Amino acid sequence: MRSQWIEHKGKKIFYQDFAQNFYNSAAVKTELDEVQKIVTASPPNSVLVLSDFRDTSIAGDLLSAMNAASRATKTHVRKTAVLGVTGVKRQLADLLTKLTGQPLKYFDDVEAAKNWLVEE
């Protein structure tokens, strides 16, 4: 598993590393299963999530897996920042937000994303 807990300004952030999987949906699904276990083991409304999708294609076959994972983790997540989601990927992410009700905020810069997550 590539994802891990990181610390920023004294707060824990769960960095979900889906980056550079390009068109490898199997790798993304495997990582998604692992991160879902960690997030759902955390207390409700407690997890700050930074999801990194830079250089990873989100095709239709991943949308249903991401939808299911988002629904399962929604009550455990306080805030989610997302990296690398533009163009068509952004439209799919917006659809995912509508389906699950889990709001996402998009960033191009890692530090800006981490700063937003830890601000109250």
**Count of structural domains, the chain:** 1
Query: The pTM is what?
Result: 0.89
pLDDT for position 54: 94
CATH code of the domain in which 66 resides? 3.30.750
pLDDT for position 104: 84
For 33, 73, 92, 104, the CA distances from 37, given in Å and listed in that order, are: 7, 9, 23, 20
Helix (H) or strand (E) holding 25: helix 25-40
At 81-101, the pLDDT tens digits run 999 987 766 676 777 677 767
Which range of residues forms the domain containing residue 10?
4-118
Say yes or no to pLDDT of 40 above 80.
yes
